[in-house]
Structure 1
Amino acid sequence: MRIREGGDAVTHSAPVPGALEPYVETTRNDYAVRYTSGLRIEAADDGVAVLHGRCPRCGCAFTYTHTDRVFRTPRRVPRPAHVPVLCECTAEHPGRPPEEKGCGAYWNVLMERR
């Protein structure tokens, strides 16, 4: 499996892990590039990928599980998929609703199966 970054490459200083970023639902063009630069991918099963990385906004490490299908269907030719990723860290972020996880950051990565 290969991940390609989406969005524009923009250089910014790295966030400090554990910094108390307030909870804000936000995205930026450089989040995908920054997220994929240190990403580790683990294939848990056919159609399931476990992504281990750091949030490009708050810097916290988290694991994100992506399933590319909900129901079992006949195997088809693999095709790229834009995967929405949300920060799911467990750090405290001021203003986060009780039912939410993370700092509110989200972005898309393009996953291609090989």
Structure 2
Amino acid sequence: MRPELLKGHLDALLLAVLEPGPQHGYAVIEALRSGSSGTLDLPTGTVYPALHRLERAGLIASDWHTVGGRRRRAYHLTPAGHAALGEHRAVWDQFSAAVAAVLSTPPRPAPA
């Protein structure tokens, strides 16, 4: 997948991945990869800065946990993040329906 296709959608994808519950950064990356059948195989250099930006915006929060003797930061949605995800989904539904309608329309003859 071309990286420019992801622009404008990464926040919604990250919020959606965190909707079921808290996850550490690598689990977020794995959820994107597995949820997209490998299409969204994003590097840590893309995901972690976006998670930090979403945290600064108040859409997610994080807590430190020790798992197997290692400290990990787990991210979770805030109430504002849940609301933002709902808005992203509404916009996506409208956008994807419009794009699908245009792309599935048979070509029209060019005006003379």
TM-score bin, normalised by smaller chain: under 0.3
Say which structure is richer in helix. Answer: 2
Which is greater in Rg? 2
**Please, what TM-score do these two structures have when normalized by structure 1?**
0.26
Report the TM-score when normalising by structure 2. 0.27
Q: Which of 1 and 2 has higher RCO (CA within 8 Å, sep 6+)?
A: 1
